[in-house]
Amino acid sequence: MEQKTSIYETIELCLLAGKIMLQSGAETYRVEDTMVRIATAFGLTESHSYVTPTALIFSTSGEQPAKLIRIENRTTDLHKIAEVNAISRRIALGELSAHEAKALLLQSESASFDYNLPMQIFAAALASACFLIMFGGSWPDFLAAFLAGGAGFAASVWLHRIVQVKFFAEFSAALLVGLLALLFIWAGFGYEFDRIAVGSVMPLVPGLLITNAIRDLMAGHLVSGISKGADACLTAFAIGAGIAVALLFFH
């Protein structure tokens, strides 16, 4: 780096990069690694980062106090992870000044999803129907899972916008999936309730979270691992309860 970058600016940059990655669902080690890499590129060789799913702490051994950032909402956004990763690579190679890097990071932070909502709902519906077949379902149920999965995902997106409680949104979406599956079977449009329900809730199921939780635990990120595991269990419980309540109506 030709021009001197102040320590304060570097810390801000590291925190911004870490925040975007964590909010986009990057692995814990990748977030820590990225922040330390950026810090090293700007001359801060001794830095420590501590990353949990809900907060991020970064400190340098200099005079600057450690800074903390609270992470409110987490989604999975692979595009942002890839972008921030590319930016941090360029920083490490010395291609970007702190100012340019910050502008690029802010730009990628405000970027919206590549796919619009109808496309996402269609993808969720298609995934549900495909999972139905993979889990041993029969082709006559394909359309039922397609419709129920799409509706369930659409409902969960909408509910996440109006209610703050994640548990409730997931519960209601699963309830809707269950009721739709029952309706389809009652109408003679679907045949196996269990398979339709499992396929259709797949877009909601926290499978990735469960795996990431165990991975974090294996890598020694105990706090992240346990909290991700708790998050995943809660979501799985919400979905199971939603389906079970739907079944209660039936009996």
* Cβ proximity to other proteins, 16 vs 216, nearer residue: 216
From the list 26, 28, 66, 27, the residue with the least C-alpha distance to 47 is 66
Pick one of 71, 92, 126, 223: the residue that binds other proteins (CB under 8 A): 126
- Work out how close the CB of 127 gets to other proteins at its nearest, in angstroms, rounded to a whole number: 4
- Work out how close the CB of 62 gets to other proteins at its nearest, in angstroms, rounded to a whole number: 30
Residue 227 interacts with other proteins (CB under 8 A): yes or no: no
- Work out how close the CB of 207 gets to other proteins at its nearest, in angstroms, rounded to a whole number: 3
Sequence-separated (6 or more) residues with CB below 8 Å from residue 52 = 28, 223, 224, 227
- Work out how close the CB of 129 gets to other proteins at its nearest, in angstroms, rounded to a whole number: 8
Q: Looking up tokens 């679907």, which residue turns up?
A: 190
Pick one of 8, 237, 249, 250: the residue that binds other proteins (CB under 8 A): 237
Letters for 152-171 (x = contact with other proteins by CB under 8 A, - = none) are: -x------------------
CA distance 242 to 251: 15
* Cβ proximity to other proteins, 41 vs 199, nearer residue: 199
Q: How many Cβ atoms sit within 10 Å of the Cβ of residue 183? A: 15
Long-range CB contacts (within 8 A, 24+) of 140-143? 140/190, 140/191, 141/190, 141/191, 141/192, 141/195, 141/196, 141/199, 143/189
CA distance 216 to 29: 8
Residue 76 interacts with other proteins (CB under 8 A): yes or no: yes
- Continuous H helices in 61-116: 78-92, 98-110
Residue 80 interacts with other proteins (CB under 8 A): yes or no: yes
* Cβ proximity to other proteins, 11 vs 17, nearer residue: 17
Q: How far is CA 89 from CA 5, 41, 100, 133, 163, in A?
A: 18, 10, 14, 41, 38
* Cβ proximity to other proteins, 61 vs 116, nearer residue: 116
Residue 207 interacts with other proteins (CB under 8 A): yes or no: yes
- Work out how close the CB of 17 gets to other proteins at its nearest, in angstroms, rounded to a whole number: 13
CA distance 196 to 48: 48
60 by DSSP, 3-state: which? strand
Could you tell me which stretch among 11-19, 44-52, 55-63, 78-86 binds other proteins (CB under 8 A)?
78-86
What's the sign of the alpha-carbon dihedral 159, 76, 222, 216? positive
Residue 236 interacts with other proteins (CB under 8 A): yes or no: yes
DSSP-assigned beta bridge partners for residue 58: 49, 67
Residues that bind other proteins (CB under 8 A): 25-27, 30, 76-82, 85-86, 89, 113-115, 119-120, 123-124, 126-127, 129-131, 133-135, 153, 197-198, 201-203, 205-208, 210-211, 213-215, 218-219, 236-237, 239-241, 243-245, 247
